[in-house]
Amino acid sequence: MSKPVLVINSGSSSLKYQVVDAESGEALAVGLIERIGGAGPGALTHTVGGEKHPAEVQVPDHAAAMAAMSDAFAQHGPDLAEVGLVAVGHRVVQGGARFGHSVHIDEEALATIEQLSDLAPLHNPANAAGIRVARAQFPDLPHVAVFDTAFHLTMPEVAHTYAIDREVAEEHRIRRYGFHGTSHAYVSQRAAEFLGQPLEDTNVIVLHLGNGASACAVRGGISVDTSMGLTPLEGLVMGTRSGDIDPAVVFHLARTAGMDIDAVDTLLNKRSGVLGLSGRQDMRDLVEAAAAGEPEAQLALEVYCYRVRKYIGAYLAVLGRVDAIVFTAGIGENSAEVRALTLEGLAGLGIELDGEANLVRSGEARDIATSASRVRVLVIPTNEELEIARQAIDVVGTRSSTYN
């Protein structure tokens, strides 16, 4: 039986949507609306049956974006009334310590999501705005919030605690939350399936390398550590984020360069990472420039991969036994160069990449380790929309069995 879910990812200036069948995984329509709230018109791309339908749209706010989405469905299909939507699943970035799993959205849940905005000022207000307008547009469907942080709420205290004054930390809810949870959850399940092992007995290190990037140590399907922290700034080097850095850099810049907090925030979140090191944010450009011998690009690529390698070492120690290292997201799935450079010199730890298998381009899950490698190396395409749809179905199913 098909179970179509409308999945919505509402950002500050963009809205991504997808109708996906939670049973078959088939995406019936995929859309992106950009430049919401901008000075000029926005851009909508609605893709159905492999055909793209671009349009210029007036989207001064999220309500207008939601209306533009409905127009696109009405014009290009599928007909939402006929599809038989079962639920609307919303991506929400920060669930704090409050949400350890996906929830049905009522007024109280929505208010809590809004209250968590102080921990995720760039994300939660936009997520909440999307939820509000979607609930108005689809009042008869159950709406479910799926949190980026929820998968990591299982992290033990030892992994999520920062060594700072306890009272300050408690008062301001400062701890490690972690992000990309839907991706880490999906990919670690798929890894166990691929290996033909029960999830409970499978230990993996998932490397989600996209524009944002994070590593996750997953023991038996449970996140026990992850590289992002209070915010997505901690951990790996990313497109524009520094990742791990001595916090004293902030004091130093304030005292010696006279930079205020917002300027340092912008520096570390938007002007650092491989962009800050090389002037290039896109990994394809960076790899090309490095291959052409540009020293800044070569160093940026090496710093990027070296940081990932350090986290692999850390999580081998955290997990003790590791079945597989799993690469996912735009860079992890596509960049043979990054995978090879990251895993260089790890044979002594039982991790051996098969050079030829690594070069094969494919959209399928695959094993790229040598047959002798003790730890498998997998490439598994992530699918956050499908995971959100599945979790939405789980919540709706639980509710009907609870309330009917």
Q: Which residues are marked as active site?
A: 148
Q: Please name every residue paired with 214 in a beta bridge, in sequence order, or none if there are none.
A: 208
Contact 202, 274 (CB under 8 A): no
CB of 183 to ligand ADP, least distance (A): 9
* Closest to ligand ADP by CB, 47 or 197: 47
CB of 93 to ligand ADP, least distance (A): 12
Contact 12, 18 (CB under 8 A): no
* Closest to ligand ADP by CB, 8 or 110: 8
CB of 240 to ligand ADP, least distance (A): 10
Applying CB under 6 A, does 343 fall inside the site for ligand ADP? Answer: no
* Closest to ligand ADP by CB, 142 or 212: 212
CB of 333 to ligand ADP, least distance (A): 8
* Closest to ligand ADP by CB, 323 or 387: 387
Question: Which burial class, exposed, middle or buried, applies to 169 when counting CB atoms under 10 A from its CB (0-12, 13-18, 19+)?
Answer: middle
Applying CB under 6 A, does 182 fall inside the site for ligand ADP? Answer: no
Backbone angles phi, psi at 115, to 5 degrees: -65, -25
Question: How close are the terminal C-alpha atoms of the chain, in Å?
Answer: 20
CB of 1 to ligand ADP, least distance (A): 30
In whole angstroms, give the CA distance from residue 46 to residue 67.
Answer: 13
197-236 residues near ligand ADP, rule: CB under 6 A:
210-212
Q: How far is CA 74 from CA 46, 77, 82, in A?
A: 11, 6, 11
Applying CB under 6 A, does 273 fall inside the site for ligand ADP? Answer: no
- Of 250, 218, 244, 210, residue with least CA distance to 333: 210
Applying CB under 6 A, does 362 fall inside the site for ligand ADP? Answer: no
Question: In the complex, which residue's CB is closest to ligand ADP?
Answer: 330
* Closest to ligand ADP by CB, 16 or 62: 16
Strand (E) or helix (H) holding 214: strand 213-219
Q: What is the identity of the amino acid at 163?
A: A
Binding site for ligand ADP (CB under 6 A): 210-212, 239, 282-284, 287, 329-331, 334-335
